[in-house]
Amino acid sequence: MSHRTARPRAVPASGADSASAWRSGRKRLRDHSVKRDAVIRVAARAFNERGFHNTSLDDIAAALEVTKPTIYYYVTNKEQLLFQCFVTGLEPIRAALNDVKMSQAPGRERLNAVLRQYAQAIASEFGWCMVRAEHQDLSPSMSEHIRALKAEIDQGIRRLLREGVRDGSIQPCDVKMTAFALAGALNWIPHWFREKQALTPAQIADAFVTLFEEGLRPRPTRARAPRRPAARAPNL
Under the binding rule (CB under 8 A), the answer on residue 94 touching its own copies is: no
Under the binding rule (CB under 8 A), the answer on residue 125 touching its own copies is: no
In the complex with its own copies, which residue's Cβ is closer, 104 or 235?
A: 235
Under the binding rule (CB under 8 A), the answer on residue 189 touching its own copies is: yes
Under the binding rule (CB under 8 A), the answer on residue 210 touching its own copies is: yes
Under the binding rule (CB under 8 A), the answer on residue 229 touching its own copies is: yes
b vs e for 163-182, b when ≥16 Cβ sit within 10 Å of the residue's Cβ? Answer: bbbebebbeeeebeebbeeb
CA distance 213 to 228: 10
Under the binding rule (CB under 8 A), the answer on residue 3 touching its own copies is: no
Integer CA distances (angstroms), 40 to 5, 92, 178, 223, in order: 10, 16, 33, 45
User: From the CB of 42, what's the least distance to its own copies, in Å?
Assistant: 22
Binding residue for its own copies (CB under 8 A) from 68, 76, 184, 200?
Answer: 184
User: From the CB of 51, what's the least distance to its own copies, in Å?
Assistant: 8
Looking at residues 38 to 67 of the shown chain, list those that interact with its own copies (rule: CB under 8 A). Answer: 51
User: From the CB of 35, what's the least distance to its own copies, in Å?
Assistant: 32
Site string for its own copies, 143-182 (x = CB under 8 A): ------------------x--x---xxxxxxx--xx-xxx
User: From the CB of 120, what's the least distance to its own copies, in Å?
Assistant: 15
User: From the CB of 149, what's the least distance to its own copies, in Å?
Assistant: 15
Binding residue for its own copies (CB under 8 A) from 49, 58, 134, 195?
Answer: 134
Under the binding rule (CB under 8 A), the answer on residue 216 touching its own copies is: yes
CA distance 174 to 193: 29
CA distance 236 to 234: 6
Under the binding rule (CB under 8 A), the answer on residue 220 touching its own copies is: yes
Enumerate binding residues for its own copies (CB under 8 A): 51, 108, 111, 134, 136, 161, 164, 168-174, 177-178, 180-189, 191-192, 199, 204, 207-208, 210-221, 223-224, 229, 235-236
